Amino acid sequence: MTTKTNKKAKTPKTSPKIKTCKSIYMIAGEESGDQIGGSLMEALNKKATDFDLSFEGIGGNHMSSQGLRSLFPMTELSIMGLLEIIPHIVNVLARLNQTVEDIKRLRPDLVVTIDAPGFNFRLAKRLKSLNIPVVHITAPTVWAWRPRRAERVAGYLTHLLTLFHFEPPYFTKHGLKTTFMGHPLVEKKLWDVSPELYRKNHQIKKKQPLLCLLPGSRAGEIKNHLPIFLDTVEMLKANHPDLEVVVPTLPRFKDQIETALKQRGIAVHITTDEEEKYQAMRASTAALAASGTVTLELGLCDTPMVVAYKGNPISAAIVKRMLLTKHVSLTNILLEKQVVPELLQENCKAQDLSLELNRLLKDKSNSHAIQKKELFKLQKLVQSDSGKTPSEMAAAIILETLKK
């Protein structure tokens, strides 16, 4: 009699799945784009399960912190205005050629461009013959001026991701895949920042008026606005002798602002820390801000404001003739009415600015209450209904594009 031995069937060994590597070339042209790029890179690394990612391109500190080594300093692209760019054209075109050659050399699987349309759209147009997909983040403001750009960009972009809910129809009608991802500021949840923390840290009393001064994020804006803004502060102190002032700014402008303040003998708080910037915004009674993304930041902080802007008068005259919107600040555009005062160009005067700010700084003023009520509506307007953050939305679309 023989006995059978039960032998376990050998399980065939499976070799571990080898991930392929996908390369993404990313380009941002200014501080806000660099922040979007940094958050996007972080989201991409978290969501990419089918392949490893590598990044090359042009960016600032936020993108560098996620592993990007910038081809050249991003600040060289931070130029705004029709005439203001003229002295920089030769350098910008040289950088454009350099970037095209770098992309030809690296042959990335995808190019992601963020804002900076003057540079990035010229780049995308030149990349079309290389058959490299290009995803662009932040739509050109065709709803404000130059509407024909919508049809043009549809010819060389693969996908467009917009920050505002009303933008996709302008581009989808020309056959361009367009998705509303929501505004990146949503991820900061500015409305949840404590309004007491900044005052506590700087010994500012609860009912003491605090003014947030935001002269801009570009060298030209600081040069144009700071003298007018400081004149305004001097006028305000006549009616509000206990007025405290905080100036959130970028590190590269700190010395310039400090020098201007010393010359005037004006004492203010200066912060270059992003977290403290938002604490200061939330704590402020009111703000005086140069038109730009910062007006939306203030709106999401629920901080009443006056918006100002003074640039090259010829550039401003040209833009004014081409402008399709009634308003300039993002807060008013999104709310579809003038909630915050806009004092632009020849109206950007210290006397007028101080008059409007006096209304907001006055204790229990009607102007202050009305603005706060309207600004609260912004939270809903800048969020996608998907439940995903803007970075998650953008990362999902970019990864889907990479798989094709």
Extract the tokens encoding 243: 């007025």
pLDDT for the residue 20:
85
Do residues 159 and 179 touch, judged by C-beta distance below 8 A?
yes
The more confident residue out of 10 and 314 is 314
Residue 126 within a domain? yes
Tokens 């600032």 correspond to 60
- In which band, very low, low, confident or very high, does the pLDDT at 251 lie, cut at 50, 70 and 90? very high
Distance between alpha carbon 314 and the CA centroid of its chain, in Å? 26
- Asked if residue 231 and residue 89 are part of one domain, the reply reads no
- Asked if residue 324 and residue 242 are part of one domain, the reply reads yes
The more confident residue out of 217 and 88 is 217
- In which band, very low, low, confident or very high, does the pLDDT at 320 lie, cut at 50, 70 and 90? low
Rounded CA separation 217/30 (Å):
9
- Asked if residue 374 and residue 312 are part of one domain, the reply reads yes
- Asked if residue 313 and residue 239 are part of one domain, the reply reads yes
pLDDT for the residue 12:
54
Residue 98 within a domain? yes
The CATH number of the domain holding residue 256 is 3.40.50.2000
Contacts 24+ apart (CB under 8 A), 398-403: 398/24, 398/40, 398/44, 398/110, 398/112, 398/135, 399/44, 399/47, 399/48, 399/50, 401/110, 401/133, 401/135, 401/158, 401/159, 402/22, 402/24, 402/51, 402/109, 402/110, 403/50
pLDDT for the residue 51:
86
- In which band, very low, low, confident or very high, does the pLDDT at 4 lie, cut at 50, 70 and 90? very low
- Asked if residue 208 and residue 341 are part of one domain, the reply reads yes
Distance between alpha carbon 310 and the CA centroid of its chain, in Å? 20
CA-based nearest residue to 271, from 292, 231, 244, 240: 244
Rounded CA separation 113/28 (Å):
6
Extract the tokens encoding 104: 């030809």
Name the percent of the chain lying above pLDDT 90: 74
Residue 26 within a domain? yes
Q: What is the mean pLDDT of residues 245-268?
A: 93
Rounded CA separation 168/172 (Å):
6
pLDDT for the residue 212:
98
Task: Give the burial class of 368: count Cβ atoms within 10 A of its Cβ; 0-12 exposed, 13-18 middle, 19 or more buried.
Answer: middle
- Asked if residue 256 and residue 160 are part of one domain, the reply reads no
Rounded CA separation 369/393 (Å):
35
pLDDT of 172 over the 80 cut: yes
Extract the tokens encoding 52: 């490893």
pLDDT for the residue 311:
76
- Asked if residue 396 and residue 313 are part of one domain, the reply reads no
Residue 1 within a domain? no
Do residues 270 and 258 touch, judged by C-beta distance below 8 A?
yes
The more confident residue out of 49 and 243 is 243
Q: Specify the range with the lowest mean pLDDT, choosing from 2-11, 42-51, 286-295.
A: 2-11
* Cβ atoms within 10 Å, residue 36: 30
- Asked if residue 143 and residue 119 are part of one domain, the reply reads yes
Tokens 């003038």 correspond to 338
Domain span including residue 40: 20-182+384-403
How does pLDDT run across 27-51, given as a tens digit for each residue?
A: 998 888 999 999 999 999 999 988 8
Q: Specify the range with the lowest mean pLDDT, choosing from 95-99, 114-118, 272-276.
A: 114-118
pLDDT for the residue 304:
97
Extract the tokens encoding 215: 């002269």
How does pLDDT run across 48-99, given as a tens digit for each residue?
A: 988 899 999 999 999 999 999 999 999 888 765 554 566 668 888 999 999 9
Radius of gyration (Cα) for the chain, nearest Å?
A: 25
Rounded CA separation 174/176 (Å):
6
pLDDT for the residue 18:
62
Q: Which residues of 325-352 are buried (b: 16+ CB within 10 A; e: fewer)?
A: eebbbbbbbbbeeebbbbbbeeebebee
Q: Specify the range with the lowest mean pLDDT, choosing from 264-268, 360-364, 394-398.
A: 360-364
Residue 130 within a domain? yes
pLDDT for the residue 363:
65
Extract the tokens encoding 311: 């640039």
- Asked if residue 365 and residue 227 are part of one domain, the reply reads yes
pLDDT of 323 over the 70 cut: no
Helices of type H across 65-156: 89-106, 117-127, 149-154
pLDDT for the residue 155:
95
Number of domains present in the structure of the chain: 2
pLDDT for the residue 1:
41
- Asked if residue 388 and residue 373 are part of one domain, the reply reads no
User: Average model confidence (pLDDT) for the chain?
Assistant: 89
Extended beta strands in 138-279, E state: 159-162, 177-180, 210-214, 244-248, 269-271
pLDDT of 244 over the 70 cut: yes
Distance between alpha carbon 327 and the CA centroid of its chain, in Å? 19
CA-based nearest residue to 213, from 194, 190, 196, 236: 236
Rounded CA separation 227/187 (Å):
34
How does pLDDT run across 127-166, given as a tens digit for each residue?
A: 999 999 999 999 998 877 688 899 999 999 999 999 999 9
CA-based nearest residue to 317, from 294, 344, 348: 344
